[in-house]
Amino acid sequence: MTCGIVYLLTSNRLAARFVVSLHSLRQWYDGPVTVFTTRPESHEIGERCAQDAALRIDHRQICERRAAVQTAAYLTKPKAIAESPYEATVFLDADTLIVGDISKLLLSAQRHDITATVFGCWTTTDDHYRELLGKWRRLNISNETLGYSLTELIDRALDAAHPAINIGVFAMRRGSLLLGEWDRLTLAARTMPIPDEVSFQLLLPDYSHALLGMEYNYHPVACPPRDDIRIWHFAGGMHLPNVHSHEVWLAEYDECRRKNVAGINAWSRIDSPR
């Protein structure tokens, strides 16, 4: 079974974080990597990475599903999985940082149709998710359109505490029955906050899956401190100087600048104080 890692880069807002992620990945993983880009500016970054022999990536352009600026990447993520060249795909968000052995994640990707990662200690009954899912109740999508009741999925998530998941890190095998339903619900909910992630969360209990711990998707706000982190996830600006996780990211960024990975010194707008 072919197994590989996929990234998606839409705008260049995450370009520097993406290159840092890719460079860190190559310290722990020697297998195939495909990078999908969607816009002229991200195509350029993809080409720069493809030309850097140390990164060893397959760069492909993909059509972006246009929406409001903040949701275009969310809508395109299922499409990137559908177009993955691998039988088992591990997806990494552009703002991740690999700092440890990820062989368990790769093995799970090959053994299970779906591998999800928990988001800290949060559950679907926490106040944050109650507020989020409350907004989803406003969606006017008929049962006939979806083939099931969205209201029932929301009720299920709120009635019992399911582990919160984050799809900055997940895996899916080709042919997974979840993919089509996930894609359909994500598009139907395109006006909602994080439509891809909430759709994944709502649908996941209906499909056989593996669930890995927060060490494979460690967000410094959502997760308590721990010593066995494999993948940091700097979503929401967690790489910035005003948060405690900044030093972790900055060290890797400075290393990329020292090596001028993908020509980063010529285009990155992030300054290093060191």
**Residue-wise pLDDT tens digits, 38-97:** 999 999 999 999 999 999 999 999 999 876 655 788 999 999 999 999 999 999 999 999
Domain assignment of residue 251, yes or no: yes
| Inside any domain, residue 99 | yes
98 - beta bridge partners? 231
- What CATH number should be reported for the domain holding residue 252? 3.90.550.10
Looking at the structure of the chain, the number of domains it has is 1
User: Containing domain of residue 236, as a range?
Assistant: 3-120+164-267
| pTM for the structure as a whole | 0.95
**Within a domain: 53:** yes
Q: Does 39 map to a domain?
A: yes
Tell me the per-residue pLDDT of 189-231, one tens digit each, with 9 for 90 and over.
998 989 999 999 999 999 999 999 999 999 887 777 888 999 9
Within a domain: residue 150? no
* 133 in any annotated domain: no
Is position 172 within any domain? yes
**Residue 2, φ and ψ in degrees, nearest 5:** -75, 135
- 5: CB partners within 8 A, 6+ apart: 25, 29, 31, 32, 33, 34, 89, 90, 91, 92
- Residue 217: the pLDDT is 96
In a domain, 146, yes or no: no
